[in-house]
Amino acid sequence: MLVGLLADTHIPEVALALPSQVGEAFRDVDLILHAGDMYDLSVLDNLERIAPVLAAKGDDDPDEVLRDPRVKWKHVLRLETHTLWLIHEMFYERIIRPWKQNDPAVHPEDIPDVVVFGHDHCTIVQRRNHVLYVNPGSPTFLNYRAGLGTVGLLELEPGRSDVHIVDLSEL
């Protein structure tokens, strides 16, 4: 399964629309995950022309985005034998620590193999304690600079997860 990843599009404040290169990068994806701060739901509508879309509510997204069924504070997905969390902000105390302390509110099957997040406007790909953490950056506002940025492609197969960061300026 191939999953397109993006975050922090900030449309229409930073850019009027998604760059066309996003469509090119995502042309073969089965699912698109937006890790928040889309600002306008039209971003999800446009992405949905490519593949099904789910999104995390960002800290700067208006509250009404939560009325959209594609948007949650946190999605817990099971894809190709992997448990994936889609969130916006990666706070150690709220995200990582509870399941390390055997919090009874967190079911063992909900412990992630992959965590997709945004908020920082930079690319992060790390494996820690058998968990893959991915921030795909931003296609429009990477490192808080307007212009072409990055998206991610997450390849999931049973027992294997790999991610590739795509620099949109190279397409």
Give 14-35 pLDDT, tens digit per residue.
999 999 999 999 999 999 999 9
Smallest CA-to-CA distance from 105 within 114, 116, 94, 90 is with 94
When divided into structural domains, the chain yields a total of 1
Residue 130 region by backbone torsions, left for phi larger than 0, else alpha for psi between -120 and 50, else beta: left
What tokens were used for 47?
A: 């992405």
Residue 119 reports pLDDT greater than 50: yes
What 3-state class would DSSP assign to 167? strand
pLDDT band at 108 (very low <50, low <70, confident <90, very high): low
End-to-end CA distance of the chain: 22
pLDDT number for residue 111: 82
Q: Which domain holds residue 67?
A: 2-170
Share above pLDDT 70 across residues of the chain, in percent, rounded to a whole number = 88
pLDDT number for residue 92: 47
Using one digit for the tens of pLDDT, what is the confidence trace for 79-101? Answer: 999 999 999 998 643 555 445 55
- Strands 123-128 and 150-157 turn out to be unpaired
How many other CB atoms are there within 10 angstroms of residue 60's CB atom? Answer: 14
Across 64-91, average pLDDT: 92
Across 128-133, average pLDDT: 89
Query: What values do phi and psi take at 44, rounded to 5?
Result: -70, -40
- CA angle in degrees (0–180, nearest 5) for 26-4-163: 115
* Residue 72 parent element (H or E): strand 71-72
We report the CATH number of the domain holding residue 150 as 3.60.21.10
pLDDT band at 129 (very low <50, low <70, confident <90, very high): confident
Smallest CA-to-CA distance from 138 within 27, 3, 6, 41 is with 6
